[in-house]
Amino acid sequence: MREEIYELKKAVSDLESYVNIYNKEKINEIVQRIIDISSSINNEVNDNKEIKNDNFEEISYLTTVPFLYKPVTKKDYYEGNYLETFSMQRTDELKRANTLDLHNKFWNSNCVENGNIFGSVPEELLNKDSVDSLLSSGWLSVDVNIYEVNDNVDYFDLENLCENNFTNFLIVTEKKEDKYLILEYKI
């Protein structure tokens, strides 16, 4: 959502510029862009509300945390050796940013069980230089909604719940509490 808000601010700034020179065609184009972005933000907010407030008795919303996320650039990422190459690039970028140890420590305490995210780390664990380094390497800052899963939920039901309700997610086991968590990446 941060990127959309940034785009909205940019569009409003562009609108101010074109209103000053009264370029009607550009004004209409930018107004439509503002409407589209606003609609997208509205949909995302309502989607979050549905997940947070829906009758999912199996999960409860905990918090939203900013993460840095390395996007996959291939639609069929299981094809060939893409994930192996991706993993090597991710490791190199984390080393250059001096964050590999923090990344590994975080993911060793949270065991990934399932999902479709292959590179991420909470922003709050990193210093500004590390964040800047990863961002310059193509990582993105994204909000991650974190949900706690009730103890009585069957793992296969949890997988189905995630696959049917979240586009970008990880199911992790928090080792300290031995609990499942869902990390929903708002990409």
175 pLDDT more than 80: yes
CB atoms under 10 Å from CB of 180, counted, come to 21
Separation CA 27–CA 52 (nearest Å): 37
Domain limits, the chain: 1-54, 55-185
Which carries the bigger pLDDT value, residue 37 or residue 45? 37
Angle CA(129)–CA(72)–CA(93) in degrees, nearest 5?
Answer: 30
The tens digit of pLDDT for each residue in 57-113 reads 788 999 999 999 999 988 888 888 999 999 999 999 999 999 999 999 999 999 999
The tens digit of pLDDT for each residue in 151-164 reads 888 888 899 889 88
This prediction has a pTM of 0.69
Q: State the DSSP code for 123.
A: G
Amino acid 11 reads A
Separation CA 15–CA 46 (nearest Å): 27
**Would you call 139 helix, strand, or coil by DSSP?**
coil
Residue 20's contacts (CB-CB under 8 Å, 6 or more residues apart) are none
Dihedral (CA of 187, 48, 118, 68) sign: positive
Contact call for residues 113 and 22 (beta carbons, < 8 A): no
Confidence of residue 44 (pLDDT cuts 50, 70, 90): confident
